[in-house]
Chains A and B, each alone.
Chain A
Amino acid sequence: MARVSPGGWLLRLGGYALLVLGGVLTIAPFYFMFVFATHQRSEIFGFPPPIWFGEHFLTNYQILIEKIPFWRAYWNNFYLALMTTITSLFFCSLAGFGFAMYQFRWREQLFAVVMATLLIPAILNLIPFYLLIYQIGWINTPKALWVPAMAGALGIFLMRQYIISAIPKELVDAARIDGCSEFQIYWRIVLPLIRPALGTLGLITFIGSWNRFADVNVIMRTQETKTLPVVLRTLQGATDVEWGAIMAGTALLVAPLLLVFALAARQLMEGLTSGAVKS
């Protein structure tokens, strides 16, 4: 910053101190998660609690795979996130393309409906959603979780915004004159051009699905079909809670998120705020 106002450097120093303090407070729980994952319960709750890594990660891991079908749950998590992401990328970009590049009757009203659904508090739909899934006999099947999430409103909104800003109408018209069908325009012209936005939407969807809990907890009724957050929850509240193992499982649940975030934090943050800023 070039502008220096009276006392500016003092303010700046205070600012740095504040940021460091806040950063430490933000990171600390993650740090303790990893540290506790390498200790046994008696150490975690002993005095003083561990502040550096121990040597019991493998012990904890053993407990984990013995008590719960850990890798099965991990796979379920991954499968749910993957299916949701792939289908969302397709249906959201298709709908976004539809809203962005066409003039058609009811377009504004239909888009308003899409946006309005974002305001419906999701958790309140938990019970009716469960009843529906029960009615159609999808309890305990993974499709009950990803099929309803194939075309989310947020994804459609993000795709529409990006397509409007990134794809000139003339390009679409030119393709049409060349004899492309409407779907071909989407598939051959639009899709390759919106790759960055697809990447962002993919990240958002993947992370969101990876973290799902409330509805999975209700729909999936056996250990074989549950996802990792739900299964980890079942370890808690036992008579002999293995907190070391729980922290190991939690660390393994969070690790992929941290990895993805480390690689694409900027993209993710820009994607998530782009809607907010423009609206």
Chain B
Amino acid sequence: MKRIFLSKLFLVSSAALLSVYGIIHACGGGDDWDFFSANSNFTPETFADKSYSPLFLSGDIFYGIGFDTQHNSRFNEDIKSDWSTYLKGKADAATIAYFLIGEETTRYSSEKGAPQNKTDITQLHVFFKNKKENPTSLKWGKKINLKDDKIKSFIEFLYLAQKIETVSVNTDYWSYDPVVAKTFDDLKMIQSIENVYNTTSDSFLKNRYWFLTAKACFYSSNKKKTIEFFNKTEASVPKNVLYYRALSYVAGINHQQKKYSTSNYLYAQVFDKCPELRIVTAYSFRPQNDADWNKSLAMAKNNKEKAALWAIHGYYKDESQAIGKIYELDPKSEHLNYLLTRLVNGQEQAINNSFEVKVKSDDYSSPVVKQTVAENRVENKAKINTKAFDLVAKIAAAGNTEKPYLWDISLGYLQTLKGDYAAADINLNKAEKTLPKTELATYQLRLLRFVNNMSKIDKLTDKNEKTILADLNWLYQELPKTYKGQEFRYQNAAQWSKNYLAALYRAKANPVMVELFGGDAHANSYYWGGGNAFYDNEKNLSNMKTFLAKSNKTEIEKIGTGIYYLKLKDINNFQAVQATFNNKIPEAIAFIQQADSVQYYTFLGNPFNGNIKNCHDCDHKAYQKKKYTQLEFLNTIKAMQDKLAQKEDVYTNSLLLGNAFYNITHFGNGRTFYETSIVGYGSNPYSFRDSMKKMITNCDVPRMYYQKALEAATTKEQKAKCTYMLSKCERNEYYNTKYNNLKNWWEADDDKINFLAWSNFKTLKKEYSDTKYYQDVIAECGYFNTYVNQ
């Protein structure tokens, strides 16, 4: 019963739809389509019944779920509760659920064979028929009274129902039926089901057998009979869920017979009366053209039926028109609620929350420029649809809908977006009086009030600042910790308010506050590890440090500091890295000591090693007697530099210093030294902004030390080693010019040159071919080996 095959039910009830999806799945090749993003402050769940939620505005087919996911499970709860009431005192809920739904096993196992509950039902049926005990009857006989009439009726009903399921439900995704839709052609069986319907006096059973007859006909090859049967009997049938399920079969058959106006008319009635089927009917509703649609409208017998048609039509856009029509026909209609949420969410989609505009609007890669608050306001104001706005205003003023507060709060919010803040205040206050006291409604009102209050601000003053402080804290600090639900849409307001504040501080020429509230934190937004270019400017850096260190911050400064992703230690760390690359080691030591725990981070490999190959993984794996922390690393460099200044052991100290400075570049084994939130992250130099790319790929300092080591070398082995190390620097330089100076690797010239005969290669070959080190290089370095063998 729970196993489903997606296309199956669609095909039977609405063949047209498949082709619609077929295009997107099969031909488009585009897997992920979604234009809807969460730039919304208006949570539709606050205002509309749950049965409408798939129909909320969304870039997906259905909001929140994408596609309908409940083809075969939609009525599970219904039938469980119906039968539980019927069998009260005769079987417990678990037993009933077992027979109806089966065991909760994995749904998509490809194992063949009938589920156990179905086998049990069949065996019990055999027992009832032959009156001869079998293992199943013996087993269940202990739990339920198999002689009881109601129990017997239950099992016998399921026995027949599951026969129909052999065609209505596919049990295995990875199997194939060569026909589009299997049909149930045991006409005798259908007749016997109908006979039970005709003869039983139990109204509960009669109702079920009535539905089962309709269902059996629907899945038979004689679909017309469903309609005949339905028309003949419907007057005597209670208008419950079963009735509307059967009515939707009738609608489906009409669709298949291309009687679209009837089909759509019926779907609309089911949509209206049966919340469980809202998603299915909305999906199946497909006028082919305006004539169809008008005919459906003409079929409506009264205002409510007409309103139902407009309600479902409104899901396919033009909510304003649908709202206007429904309001005229039936102002208390519940459908208005969901349509109004769509209207408001639709208006929101047009709003620019980023305070940025593209220089060229139709170019995806166009650069952007920042907007001022005033510019942003003008842009957004122009986007509000006046017709829709006037409609909402009119209905709100009349106050005769099911939920007048929904119209007041919506109008208030639209007024905010339109720039009429005083009017918005009035309507939000009006809404508050009758707003339900749920968490979601309370939050929603507070959020919209905040958006309105914030929107009033042109220029930040001490006075107007106070009107938003509590709400900013609520958005940034309290809600993320305390709100446990999923629905409430507050993230957009959180981001928008940061952008807004950044724009306000930009107008005040206060780069530090701009940076705190978002500014241009990620200069290289293309890559996640692009670092923060704000700190490339020395004045910014020192201003930010002063700001972060000061103790008498104002409230808003505290809020900004609270949400800022960097702390003083991060900036000190950055300065330490910069100083190291500039070979200003005492400075670097001073900074790293102010970088909290960072100074104790250890290197993954020994940063003083210089191997033939650049293989940081090998270096990380290699045995290390001593693990260097960043502070120890810098202190050791300092000690070596001091010795070097004293001309002590010049060769060794220079070589080790060369290794140390080499290893902290992109080519070395100690990249973690520079990988920080301000510099950036990444295994590829292109991940870094230009200033940092240059810093981490530059090998001038190690080259200087290797040169010194070469000059101080006394043996041929030593000289060979230094020469090779210098050639590594030369090679890196080549890569830097050829690849790393470009914007993207694919711009690089594909000349197939992987290496050149660098001058130090030549020297190594010419002068040191008799050393052991030379042999080691040949063994390990393929480039050199290739060069030698040319």
A and B associate in one complex: no
- Chain A residues packing against B (C-beta within 8 Å): none
